[in-house]
Amino acid sequence: MAGGREIKTKIKSVQNTRKVTRALEMVSASKIRKAQDLMKASRPYARLMRQVIGHIAHANVEYKHPFLIERDTVKRVGYMVVSTDRGLCGGLNSNLFRKLLGEIREWQDKGVEVDVVCIGQKATQFFRRLKVNMVGSVTHLGEKPQIAQLIGAIKVMLDAYTEGHVDRLSLAYNDFVNTMTQKATVTPLLPLPPSAEMVTTHAWDYLYEPDAESVLEHVLTRYVESLVYQAALENLASEHAARMVAMKSASDNATNAIDSLTLIYNKARQAAITQEISEIVSGAAAV
Amino acid sequence: MATTIRCDIVSAEEEIFHGNAQMVIATGEMGELGIAPRHTPLITRLKPGQVRVHLENGEEQFFYVSGGILEVQPSVVTVLADTAIRAKDIDEAAARNAKEEAERALANRSDALEVAQAQAQLAQAMAQLQALEHLRRSLKH
């Protein structure tokens, strides 16, 4: 029986692979709900934060914070890259990195240097190999990312921006559209995009306690933090969705492979039997 | 003339309260603040402490926040609460950690950090105790 045993072991190994991919698929399917709940829970904060920032943009602010001022010359740009910690989630990370690399190349061609802060192991591993300046990294956010885990990485970039090392800051992550679609997104964080001009009925300003500078600093920092946190949650939901889909198609492929291997095995078995019979028959005829 | 003011209290990880209030009292950086309807626009940082909301029906609700931002518009009060303990030294340590993780080096925590951390935790514990005390008293009556 030609290769019967080999085909059998192959089938076994594909079956084992299918077990793993099935399990991963089901794990992600159950985790995605939690991730989506987290995403929803943090939305009110992001919405109110945007509202407050909108008010500030319309107020006649006496103090111009560096985060609000567009700089004329750009010598160095910063990216905060949110990725997953684990692989096996289809093209999720590579799509994001490809999109980001395009932008980074463009800057580098113009002679602008690039700093990155990596959130998640995949980004850290990826950017370690590249000719970009990795200034910070956070990994292992887990299933329930907390804002406290992200503060450090964000502060690195915000400090660099305030000190003038970085003239522009963007955020790259996978936007969760729905279970089937995740969109690699790169959005500008700083300077704050100028708000749409509204007809000001009267010029007003806040009362600041204790003073405009420190309060605005605080509010704008929180604003950026909330955006990055939201991005981390979106990315987490995207990760589970992408993994679920990738593992589902992997399981389906494994099933197909098992089917065709079984067919080959049966054919080989049949051929072996036929051959054996014809050998016996011809042996008997010779006698 | 509005006699109530809309009040939203949220933290980054969940929505805590929203509804109409007669008055909102919070611990600002510079001291206690009582916000009544049609207050002038104001924005301030909050210290760890409680936010008290006087509801329309005369009831009072307490919330504990570990810092955050209070924004007041004439018809709406927004409290953006922090979930994490924040202090300058702690933030800086977190930033340093992030940097060091990038450099794969070990964190070297300073004494100043530990003091700041302890202080922040103490302030938080005090405020939590106060909030509890308040709750206990209001339950007795």
Q: What is the pLDDT of residues A185-214, one digit of tens each?
A: 999 888 887 655 555 556 778 888 888 888
Rounded to two decimals, the pTM is: 0.81
Q: What is the pLDDT of residues A6-41, one digit of tens each?
A: 889 889 999 999 999 999 999 999 999 999 999 988
Q: Which residues pair with B46 in a beta bridge?
A: B28, B68
Which pLDDT does position A129 carry in this prediction?
A: 80
Q: Within a 10 A sphere around the Cβ of A285, how many other Cβ atoms?
A: 7
Residue for token pair 């005369």: B58
pLDDT at position B60 over 70: yes
How far does B134 lie from chain A, in Å, by closest CA? 26
Assign A25 to helix, strand or coil.
helix
Which residues in chain B have Cβ-Cβ distances shorter than 8 Å to A48?
8, 10, 78, 80
Q: Which CATH architecture has domain B5-81?
A: Sandwich (2.60)
Which residues in chain B have Cβ-Cβ distances shorter than 8 Å to A225?
12
Mean predicted confidence (pLDDT) in A77-89: 92
Strands (DSSP E) found in A31-89: 76-82
pLDDT at position B113 over 90: no
The phi, psi pair for A135, rounded to 5°, reads -100, -15
Residue for token pair 């997953």: A84
Q: Where are the domains positioned within chain B?
A: 5-81, 88-140
pLDDT at position B10 over 70: yes
Record: contact A45-B29, CB cut-off 8 A: no
Mark which residues 47-66 of B lie under 8 Å from A by CB.
Answer: none
Q: What is the pLDDT of residues A111-163, one digit of tens each?
A: 999 999 999 989 988 888 887 888 888 888 888 888 888 888 899 899 999 89
Higher-confidence position of A89 and A59: A89
How far does B4 lie from chain A, in Å, by closest CA? 19
CATH of domain A45-193+202-245: 3.40.1380.10
ipTM score here? Answer: 0.72
Q: What is the pLDDT of residues A155-181, one digit of tens each?
A: 989 999 989 889 999 999 999 998 889
